[in-house]
Each structure stands twice: as C-alpha cells, then as structure tokens.
A and B are shown apart, each in its own frame.
Chain A
Amino acid sequence: MSYTKSADVSNRSRVGHLDIDQRAPKSARWLNESLGVTSRKRKWVGVIWVLPALAAYVLFVLFPLGQTVRYSFYNWDGIGVATWAGFNNYVQVFTQPELISSIVHSFILIVFFTIIPVFLGLIAASLLQRRRQGAFTTVTRTILFFPQIVPLAGAGIMWSWMYAPNGAVNGLLRAVGLGGLTQQWLGNFNTALPAVGIIGVWLSLGFCTVLFLSGISKVDPATYEAARIDGAGAVREFFAITLPALRGEIVVAVTVTVIAALESFDVIYVSTQGGPGYATMVPGVEIYRLTFLNQHIGAASALAVVLTILVLIVVSIIQRVGRGRD
C-alpha cells in the first residue's frame, strides 16, 4: 500500500502542467512483450484498451466538432437546403455588434471570474495559514467551498432574487441609508454585466482559497518559522515564501476560472438570458440563441469555432507564462 503513497507524491509535483511526456515505465519493451503487445502480429492488441474510450470521444465530441466547422461555412436554417457561405459567417462574427460584443463580454468576465477571486483567495489563504488549525478554519473552508457543488443554475436563481427590485441587495442598501442607489441590477444596461460578474466572484472565491490553502500546506512549516525568527512580517512572509510557493496553484486557478469565464452559459442563461438587450450576452448563450431560436446555424457555428480557438490560445498562453519562469 505504500506504493500508492509514493505515486501520489510524484503526482503533486506536476501541478498545473498538462504534461503528457511522463517517464516511460522502465524496461518497457520487456514488459510489453510479456503483456503480448510488441511482437509484430500482436502489436495492436494493446489498442483494445483504448478503443472504447476513443470511440465515445470520436463519436460524440470530435465528429460533432468537425460538423460545427462544416456548418460554419454554410447558410442553413436547420431544415431547408444549406447554401455555401464561404467565410461570410466569420465576417459576421467579427463585424456584427451583437456577436463581437458577446466575445468582449466574456473577456470582461475574466476580471470577475479570475482576477478578483485569485487576488482575494491569496489574501484569505495566507490569513488562514497564519491561524492555528481548528474548528474555525474547518468551518471557513467548508463554507467557502460550498458554491463549488451548487449547480450553476441554482446560483443563477439565488442571485436573481438577490438582485431583484425588492431583493436583498436593495434591502441592504436601504438599511444602511443608501436607498438612492437601489435599482434593478440585472435589468439596467450599466449594472447588469458587473452584477453577473459578482456571481462569478462568488463562484470562484472559495475554490481559489481552498486550492491555495492546499498549496501552502505543502510548504515546510520550518520555512515560515525561520522567516518569523528573522523578524519577517506577514507581508514579507507572503511575498518571500507564500507567493513563490503557490505559483503552480495560481496557474491552475487562473486556467480553470478563465475557461469558466469564456465558456460561461448556465449562470447567464438562468439569470439574464444575455439581456437586457445584449448587455450580458456571452458566446455560449449566443450560440444557443442563434441555433435554437433564430435558426442561424452557420453564424452560431462560426461563433463556436472562434470561441474554441480563443480558449485554446488563451489557455496555452497561461500555461506558457506559468511554466516560463521555471
């Protein structure tokens, strides 16, 4: 059983990297021969292990993705005959205000889904690290983590009611004498996007905090003790020890939350449907709307392809920057 333990430890060191170049098992050739894999005729026997998963993946992910790319070059209403459109749909994605603004919104959401929660999470985690482990820290972790298990649609309902004209946010404002600020947060063109963004902060904050805490717990406590004996304060300690130690976890948190922002659908669909007007429209909801309400399959597919490529580019930039300073 001690084997599992050592395997876990080596897993941890690869935090944050999509590293597929792992060490090959030693004496692989001998093993493969014994497992009946290498001899020319039986070489392909090993493929059987992978085939079912690959089949499901090709059939329900890769093939549909190919179809999306194909649809994006046609004008099609989903029922009639499709006509060739060339790059027209892509031109639309980048010139039609509603389509391009949905992409812009998803990048604005990164501020709320990623930047604010990572920043606050770092503060919270280093505060928790300085406290003795006990009931308080356990309760804090549990409560902060709870948004992670709630369906996003449930989060959308809770927050819609919070933001309602006679909801809790306006109630709180009235209670502290700021009644003049009350408004329909999700119905106002200026406040709708930031209001939806706050839901993103709510979703990501606990996740980032608990992730950073688990990173801090891997730091040797003696390091912190030595720093304290040297007279380092909380701030020095944070920049000298905690922040460098958490680089891997920060890359993970940024990657996961940026993907959540760019690919967001559930929260927006339930709370605003992209409205008022297009004030909170994001690519995910726009793809759904274009396909199933407007029957513009071509434009929807072009937007889907653009979104897919954007996510790939952004994630690979994050991974490169995160690894670069190694």
Chain B
Amino acid sequence: MNAVSSRSSRATSAILLIIMMVFTIFPLLTMLATALQPANSTPSGFSWPAHPQWHNFAVAWVATNFMHLLSSSVIYVVGVVPIAVILATLAGYGLGHITIPGGKAVTLLFVFGLTLPAEALITPLYYQFQSWGLLGTHWGVILALIGLYMPFGVFWMRTHFANSPVELTEAALLDGASAWQVFRQVHLPLARSALASLAILMFLWTWNQLLLPLVLVNDPSKGTVASALSAFQGQYSTNIVLLCAAAFIVLLPSLIVFLIFQRHFVQALLQGSER
C-alpha cells in the first residue's frame, strides 16, 4: 500500500466527513447562538454574541411554563409505553412462539398496518373521541398511540419470539411448568434486549409526536414536547431570541437522554428500521 496516496485519501475522507458533520450540527449551533443574543434584539446570520445572555434561558423557562410542559409529556410516555410494550409482547409471543389458529392471517393484518399514514386516521379519530368526550384530554392521544404502535410492536416481538429456542420450552414443560410460567420465567427474561429497544423507540415516538396532540388536544400546555415547539413557532414569531431559547430548552432533555443512552438509541433505531 502506497503511503502517500493512503495519507491523502485519509485527508480527503476527513474533510468530507467534517463537512457532513458541520452541515448536521450547524442549525443547532445557530439556534444556541441566537438564544444567547440580547433579548428582543433582531440578530442576523450566524454570529456568536459578544456577551452571551445565559439568563435568556431562565426567561424562556418561565415563559414556556417548562415544568408543566415536561410533566405533560411524561404523562404521555407513562400512559403509552408500558401498556403498548406489554400488549405487543403478549401478542408477539402468541403469534411467534405458540402457533394459534389464524395466526398467519392476524400477522398479515398487523403487517398491513406498518406503512399506514397516521394522517389517514386523524379525521375519524377526532370524531370518535369527540363522541366519547375525550377531546382535549390526555386519554385520546394515549389510546390512539397504543393502537398505532401495535403493528410495529407486535411484528418486532413476534420476530424475536419466533427465533427463541424451542428446546427451552420443551425442557420447561417437561419440568411441569405451566404455559404462563414458560413465558414468564423462560422467554421473558431472554427477550430483555428486544424489549428495551422497543421501549426506547416508543418513548422517542411518543415524546416527538406532533400530529395527534395537535388534533386531539389542541392545547400546547397539555401537549407533547413536539406540539409545544410547534405552538412556540406561532407564539414567539416576533421574538426570535426567545423562540430559539425556548426551543433549545425543550430540545435539551432529548439531547441529554440521547448522549447518555447513545448506543442503545442507535441500536434500537437501526434494528427497528431493519424489520
């Protein structure tokens, strides 16, 4: 291998990759720089402020009623993720490990839902929840999300359980375990990593959900992080500094969680899409 050509190709690749990284991170840095400008100024372009106004974040914290917003988002995650994971796991086990009558047809039915646009469901969901008196509450969004996550969740867990070793089931049954015990004590512990990935994905989808809270709740203070962001866009359009500070604060929890659980996120998203 020619040392000179390998060094120059290394340099080229480094430059190309750095360009891609700058392209990716630049919008976020622009937003941060703008958030630190003097309040009510009209900043222009990309310039780091001479005197960063860190207290802008405190102003935005109060203006956005941030703790309230955060607790509303947590309600959605707590309401949706555990139930959706449990339902998907039970169904995935039923379809993947024990063959039930009509299992193939039911699986196909779930697969059909994998590509379904949520936009095709919002209109009827709106009228359905209106007649149930659930509009403007957290419940509509929670119920609808659980339903919407079923195709992927069931498919994901079914794939896992279809590949879990039958020999373990046989051994457990010979030991006199019941059907529930086989599931609970043998297969559930082995599904831990599949479950973790599914939970991470569902957390992310719920946290970032815009369409359903927009339609079914239509009240930013009862919405998700994403729906709050979309409301800021209208609310603070004349105060770009506050808009950027507010948006940055709201993005911060996702960023922190991502940096801590980075490996899991990347794995979950990659595996999740590969199905």
Interface positions of A (Cβ within 8 A of B): 3-4, 6-8, 10-12, 14-16, 18, 20, 22-28, 31-32, 34-37, 43-44, 46-50, 52-54, 56-57, 59-65, 67-68, 71, 78, 120, 123-124, 127-128, 130-131, 136, 139-162, 164, 166-168, 170-172, 174-175, 202, 205-207, 209-211, 214, 228, 234, 248-249, 252-253, 256, 259, 262-263, 265-266, 269-270, 283-284, 287-288, 291-292, 297, 300-301, 304-305, 307-308, 311-312, 315
Question: Once the chains are docked, how many angstroms separate the CA of A308 from the CA of B137?
Answer: 28
A49 touches B233 (CB 8 A): no
> Please, which residue of chain B has its CB at the minimum distance from the CB of A58?
B147
B207 touches which of A44, A67, A151, A269 (Cβ 8 Å): A151
Chain B: interface size category:
35 or more
Query: Apart from A50-B90, A205-B23, A269-B230, what 5 extra A-B contacts exist at CB < 8 Å?
Result: A4-B193, A50-B103, A256-B273, A266-B226, A287-B123
Given A144-B20, A150-B254, also A61-B166 (CB < 8 A): no
B121 touches A61 (CB 8 A): yes
B101 touches A43 (CB 8 A): yes
Chain A nearest CB, measured from B107 CB (Å) = 5
Chain A nearest CB, measured from B201 CB (Å) = 11
A315 touches B115 (CB 8 A): yes
A32 touches B34 (CB 8 A): no
B202 contacts the other chain (Cβ, under 8 Å)?
A: no
B164 touches A3 (CB 8 A): yes
A23 touches which of B162, B226, B259 (Cβ 8 Å): B162
Question: Once the chains are docked, how many angstroms separate the CA of A292 from the CA of B153?
Answer: 30
- Interfacial chain A residues near B214, Cβ < 8 Å: 269, 288
B71 contacts the other chain (Cβ, under 8 Å)?
A: no
B247 touches which of A158, A234, A288 (Cβ 8 Å): A158
A7 touches B154 (CB 8 A): no
Chain B nearest CB, measured from A5 CB (Å) = 10
Question: Once the chains are docked, how many angstroms separate the CA of A12 from the CA of B159?
Answer: 11
Given A7-B160, A211-B270, also A50-B91 (CB < 8 A): yes
A-B pairs with lowest CB-CB distance, top 6: A171-B45, A60-B147, A49-B94, A67-B124, A53-B91, A46-B100
